[in-house]
Amino acid sequence: MILSDPLTPLLEKGEVTARYYNPGDVFSEVHILLLNDDKPDASALKYMVGEARVFIHNFNLPSKISVKSFGWQTPLLERFLQRVLPVIQDIAPDILRTHGLSLELLVARMSKRRFGIPHVASIHTNPHQPAQNVSLVRRFFVSGLDRLRSQVLKEADEVLPVYEPAVPFLQSLGVSDFQVCYNVLNPSAIKRKADYKLNKTVKVVCVSRQFQTKDPSNLIRAVAVIENMHLTLIGDGELHEALARLVNDLDINDRVEFIPSIENGDLCRLLSEFDFFAVHSDHWEVSKAVLEALLSGLPVIINKLPDYQIPELSEELCVLVENSEEGYLGALKKLIGDDVKREELGRNAARVAWERWDPQKSEAAYQDIYKDLLGG
């Protein structure tokens, strides 16, 4: 595994899924090469590699490498990255897998060319979603990085976007050989909701990082209007203190609970106890939290996007609202007052979700890809 982002923050948030880095226990060793100085707890990673032994390696990149390479120029970058090749040669992996859209891609291509190791690229974001006020300098650097991404992904053995919203990005790069392969979710802890009778106090859960493009303020304001309702916010981020002040200003401290992090298995076991899952995101994505809620059979409320309709999140599965207090308030009131609609939405969501995103099927898909690359 070649990663640019640190792993410790994910482990601290509890985002740990069984065999995530070793689906089907295909491998006896999993080596994680971090292009940074992060020192994640190897024992915490053990759950994510199954029966394999886990090894962690660090390779620190030069500071301001995008500037030093004059806007991600490949020949200059390769000079900076040559020193990592002996590390990979010493590991002698059978497969290289990248998570990300930065220099891990180039490291994988250099290793593939030098040592003939197959490269599997997982694509977890769409960095081309509409953005406002992008400077010319920013556009210059993004253009250079996109050239690099296009070159490398066209040479990868497998390109695996983890949801449909990543497909337009790949197409914009001219990458046509890919297959959507959804994230492997918790294979054992997800508990399906059986009873859609509302709790005595209606319980809403929001699982999301707390920053500007995922700001749940409008949801909080909507909850403040409905007296017999409790909101649990799971996640942390730069907006946390502002959200806490908003809750205090609305005088609903006794009806809103903040949980900075929770182990993924515990979260999956808890979801079915809530009445609704509600979230806000401006990103072109299908978050793992939303998929877990759908698999649990929770009625899901999520905002519409102005420029794009996420294929997976149709009105068949979710209540789509405007990102406003009125939008969330209307959806909550409607579902509270309509027992039939509430149950139909939740049960249909679970049925469709298990057909599309069954964790065992997702894990088997990755397992089959690896075995094909390894010659069976």
pLDDT digits (tens, 9 = 90+) for 68-124: 999 999 999 999 999 999 999 999 999 999 999 999 999 999 999 999 999 999 999
**By the 8 A CB rule, do 216 and 323 touch?**
no
376 residues of the chain, pLDDT tens digit each: 999 999 999 898 888 888 999 999 999 999 999 999 999 999 889 999 999 999 999 999 888 999 999 999 999 999 999 999 999 999 999 999 999 999 999 999 999 999 999 999 999 999 987 665 567 877 888 899 999 999 999 999 999 999 999 999 999 999 999 999 999 998 789 999 999 999 999 999 999 999 999 999 999 999 999 999 999 999 999 999 999 999 999 999 999 999 999 999 999 999 999 999 999 999 999 999 999 999 999 999 999 998 899 999 999 899 999 999 999 999 999 999 999 999 999 999 999 999 999 999 999 999 999 999 999 7
Residue 232: in which H helix or E strand, if any?
Answer: strand 229-234
The pLDDT, as a whole number, for residue 133 is: 57
Integer Cα distance of 146 and 81 in angstroms: 18
Domain 202-356 has CATH 1.10.357.10: no
Q: What is the pLDDT of residues 339-352, one digit of tens each?
A: 999 999 999 999 99
The pLDDT, as a whole number, for residue 188 is: 84
Shared fold status for 2-186+359-373 and 202-356: yes
Write 97-100 long-range contacts (CB < 8 A, 24+).
97/1, 97/2, 97/121, 97/122, 98/1, 98/2, 98/3, 98/122, 99/1, 99/2, 99/3, 99/5, 99/124, 100/3, 100/4, 100/5, 100/124
Q: Which residue, chain included where needed, has tokens 């998929």?
A: 291
Integer Cα distance of 356 and 296 in angstroms: 13
User: What percentage of the chain carries pLDDT values higher than 70?
Assistant: 99
pTM, two decimals, is 0.92
Question: Domain boundaries in the chain?
Answer: 2-186+359-373, 202-356
Residue 67: in which H helix or E strand, if any?
Answer: helix 65-68
Query: How crowded is the C-beta side of 255, counted as CA atoms within 13 Å?
Result: 22
Integer Cα distance of 352 and 153 in angstroms: 31
User: What number of residues does the chain have?
Assistant: 376
Provide the token pair at 345: 């939405």
Helix-helix angle 339-357:359-373, to 10 degrees: 20
Helix-helix angle 103-115:74-81, to 10 degrees: 70
Domain 2-186+359-373 has CATH 3.40.50.2000: yes
